[in-house]
Chain A
Amino acid sequence: GQNIDQPTEMTATEGAIVQINCTYQTSGFNGLFWYQQHAGEAPTFLSYNVLDGLEEKGRFSSFLSRSKGYSYLLLKELQMKDSASYLCVPKDGNYQLIWGAGTKLIIKP
């Protein structure tokens, strides 16, 4: 079967750095997305990785290792508005997006 493994919940302090890990198992692989979802709102796109390595976008970076089935999202200089759920979404061999429940990140002052 296909599955995604992320921590259910994480807590971090404003101004700090946090890394959200994701391991996945899919039938084939065609890239991996990270989305952010604030409570009561729709998901919004953060990053996309298709090759191994790090993609940096401002305060957010995403890393992919295809051989390990592993990705992480790194958030720097945390702000209160970063309190949200973070969804690791691989795309399988049939180009279907695989959605898990995500990681709820709580930022404390």
Chain B
Amino acid sequence: IAGITQAPTSQILAAGRRMTLRCTQDMRHNAMYWYRQDLGLGLRLIHYSNTAGTTGKGEVPDGYSVSRANTDDFPLTLASAVPSQTSVYFCASSPEGGAGANVLTFGAGSRLTVL
């Protein structure tokens, strides 16, 4: 089934630990995104990539890094997790970034708790 796979589904992590959230899509979409969603707030963009080999910072990039070595994979790394990074993380993709009706397809989300 075409779509986006995120892993892990859920994780409890000690503060200070390093964590990578994985995201893989099989739709050959050029653009990929990482969002976090906190209770009562809208989605906030962490990092994005408009094409393989390029990445950009979103609204809340501090404490996170990404890479885009190929079209399909877009991992998000927390170098040293802090409790404020407790959130639900959504990976998304769209055919292109930028202009037009580039509809986002989302993964199921990764629920991260930092203690």
Listed in ascending order, the chain A residues whose CB lies under 8 Å from chain B are: 4, 30-31, 33, 35, 41-45, 48, 50, 87, 95-102
Contacts and interface: CB of A to CB of B under 8 A. Distances in A.
Given A48-B103, A95-B98, A42 B109 contact: yes
Interface of B: 35, 40-45, 90, 97-101, 103-109
A30 to B, nearest CB: 6
A4 B43 CA distance: 13
A31 B103 CA distance: 11
18 contacts: A30-B99, A31-B100, A35-B104, A41-B109, A42-B106, A42-B107, A42-B109, A43-B104, A45-B103, A45-B105, A50-B101, A87-B42, A97-B45, A99-B35, A99-B42, A99-B44, A100-B42, A102-B42
Contacts of B97: 95
B103 A101 contact: no
Contacts, number: 41
Main secondary structure of the interface of B (DSSP, over half): loop
B107 A101 contact: no
A33 B102 CA distance: 10
A50 B99 CA distance: 11
A101 B39 CA distance: 9
B41 A101 contact: yes
Given A42-B90, A43-B106, A101 B42 contact: yes
Contacts of B99: 30, 95
